[in-house]
Amino acid sequence: MKARIHPKAEIGIVRLKITNLDRSLRFYQEVIGLQLLRRETHLAELTADGEKVLLVLEESEHFHMMQGRNVSGLYHFAILVPDRVSLGLALRNLIKHQIPVGQGDHLVSEALYLNDPDRNGIEIYADRPRDTWQRDELGEYKMTTDPVDIQGLLDISEQAEWSGQPAGTKIGHVHFHVGDLNRARQFYTEVLGFDIVSHLGQDALFISAGGYHHHIGLNIWAGVGAPPNPEDATGLRYFTITLPDQEALQAVKDRLIQAGVVYQQEPDSISLTDPFGIAMRLVVAH
């Protein structure tokens, strides 16, 4: 029987490399609606509830923005808001700031897409009730990309007041470009222990813990064999996977050892990179 990651595993903090901290803080506070929790000279932590860190911004004058998408690494990170009214309010704020927005109704969720000032991809989305998610004959979730009911989002949020992202907002999932989908599948499902929940043709794969529609998306849209994102490029520094206890962390660690994957041990966490240079930390939730 396949070893599985703990069903309560979730995505935690996302840490981004950016070129201008002041500019990014204005964007993430005014446009996205997060709050500044803590700031140092070249580092800032952002939150939705005033307590839990969701996003870390790391500034360096040495970082540069990549032209085009031809490397492995971040496609987007996804901010999950609690309900459809919150998504409508987020949309209204994006319109107010004249931000170009893409959109997709994925059946399981409704999503808005945009980029930050360093072209890091962002999704803001709201889930539909889990009991409405449908599976196909293979047992995978039915997901597609249909037009979002934009007018419906505007209508449902018309009487509500925007005051930033509400408490309960979290990082719902992350989506990566990888250089080899089979190798990615093996690492994320057989070693880390996530379950495959959906495919998008032969080019993208969605995986999760605990029956969620996806915690991680993997695609080869940047090209088969896409090299790792350079160290001096903007993009993802790392993301975290939160686990409920030490036992769940140890179970993943045992599989890493068995697979010969190198990792760094820290108190209550381990750090490693996937086969495509994407860095992650597995942490015990507090």
pLDDT for the residue numbered 1: 61
Residue with tokens 């996804």: 78
Burial tier of 266 (Cβ tally within 10 Å: 0-12, 13-18, 19+) = exposed
Delineate the domains of the chain, giving CATH numbers in brackets.
10-284 (3.10.180.10)
User: Counting runs of H as helices and runs of E as strands, what totals does the chain give?
Assistant: 5, 16
pLDDT digits (tens, 9 = 90+) for 181-232: 999 999 999 999 999 999 998 999 999 999 999 999 999 999 999 999 999 9
Mean pLDDT taken over the chain: 96
pLDDT digits (tens, 9 = 90+) for 207-221: 999 999 999 999 999
Region 88-96: mean pLDDT is 98
Q: What is the pTM of this model?
A: 0.97
Region 109-115: mean pLDDT is 98
Residue 27 · residue 94 · CB < 8 Å: no
